[in-house]
Amino acid sequence: MLPKAKKSFSQNFLTNRGVLEKIVEVAEIKKGERVLEIGPGTGVLTKALVQAGAQVIAVELDEDLIPILQEQFGEQICLVQGDILTLFEKNVQEVAFTSVQGTEGILKDQKFKLIANIPYAITSAILEQFFTKAPHPTRMIVMVQREVADRLLAIPPKMSLLSVVCQLYAKGKKVMNVSRGSFQPMPKVDSAVVQFDLYPLLDGEDREAIIQLAKQGFSSKRKQLQKNLSATGKFSSQTVKECLEKLGLDQRVRAENLTIPQWIALKQLLSRT
């Protein structure tokens, strides 16, 4: 019997066995590989990960679920009670956790995968944390609201600032749609499982500068890109138009029509002016 879900934690427990199996399948876990699971809940996915051979570090915020998870797994997993965003406040090469059992689990940059079925309210915060800061997972598999999944993975002419940010840091794809009936209690929206294979974080990269340019480009959705960029005072309208022409783009193009390579190339051209 499932414990009573708490509205304060936006809890909806995944019960669809087929979805669980698909998540484990796309995780491509090798025996002994470390997996960070955010929000293990009642432990149904945790069990599947352990059976697949993963070394699981499970971080659960709800202290009432900790005894349930302890009883199921004992020392099979490193179980941590706490807020994942607080635990990862610092940008460091490795993070050490002290589990409720008193043992320690360590995550090193590019040495783990992340799997999360998290409250949708903190989806953006989770993505920002693990995209932009170390320790940096190699793969993330997250359950998100279906509408958000479509925005994350959008292509021109439906790009948004969110899709630009995500696609600068990772190659993403939708694994599957998940109906609201796959959860107890049933949420008001449908969901989707999204896989992100993260690009390495390299010294000297200027992805944040590209994101700042994109923020300016999307500042007014109804305006042409060159008008939004020239409104900042950093570039003249003519300069932006010339750069767009060099990229083979129409001078009247809007931000939602640019691909990630075009944003990168535009930033490089503007930096030379």
Could you read off the pLDDT of 8-38 as tens digits, one per residue? 556 677 889 999 999 999 999 999 999 999 9
Length of the chain: 273
Distance separating alpha carbons of residues 48 and 54, to the nearest angstrom = 9
Within a domain: residue 68? yes
Q: Are the C-beta atoms of 49 and 127 separated by less than 8 Å?
A: no
Within a domain: residue 143? yes
CA distances in angstroms from 246 to 77, 155, 161, 241, 251, listed in the order given? 54, 21, 23, 9, 10
> Which parts of the chain sit beneath pLDDT 50?
none
Within a domain: residue 175? yes
Within a domain: residue 215? yes
The answer on 190 and 237 residing in a single domain is no
- What is the predicted pLDDT for the residue at 206? 85
The answer on 223 and 132 residing in a single domain is no
* Average pLDDT of every residue of the chain: 90
37 — phi, psi (to 5°)? -110, 120
Within a domain: residue 1? no
- What is the predicted pLDDT for the residue at 99? 84
CATH code of residue 255:
1.10.8.100
Collapsing DSSP states into helix, strand and coil, what is residue 136? coil
- What is the predicted pLDDT for the residue at 9? 53
Radius of gyration over every alpha carbon of the chain, rounded to an integer in angstroms = 21
- What is the predicted pLDDT for the residue at 4? 63
Q: Which of 24, 66, 16, 76 is nearest to 42 (CA)?
A: 66
- What is the predicted pLDDT for the residue at 205? 65
The answer on 174 and 147 residing in a single domain is yes
Within a domain: residue 152? yes
Domain count, the chain: 2
CB-neighbour burial class of residue 228 (10 A; exposed 0-12, middle 13-18, buried 19+) = buried
The answer on 235 and 145 residing in a single domain is no
Distance separating alpha carbons of residues 181 and 189, to the nearest angstrom = 10
The answer on 157 and 56 residing in a single domain is yes
The answer on 211 and 148 residing in a single domain is no
Within a domain: residue 82? yes
- What is the predicted pLDDT for the residue at 193? 97
Q: What domain range includes position 117?
A: 7-198
Collapsing DSSP states into helix, strand and coil, what is residue 48? helix
CATH code of residue 144:
3.40.50.150
Collapsing DSSP states into helix, strand and coil, what is residue 144? strand
- What is the predicted pLDDT for the residue at 117? 83
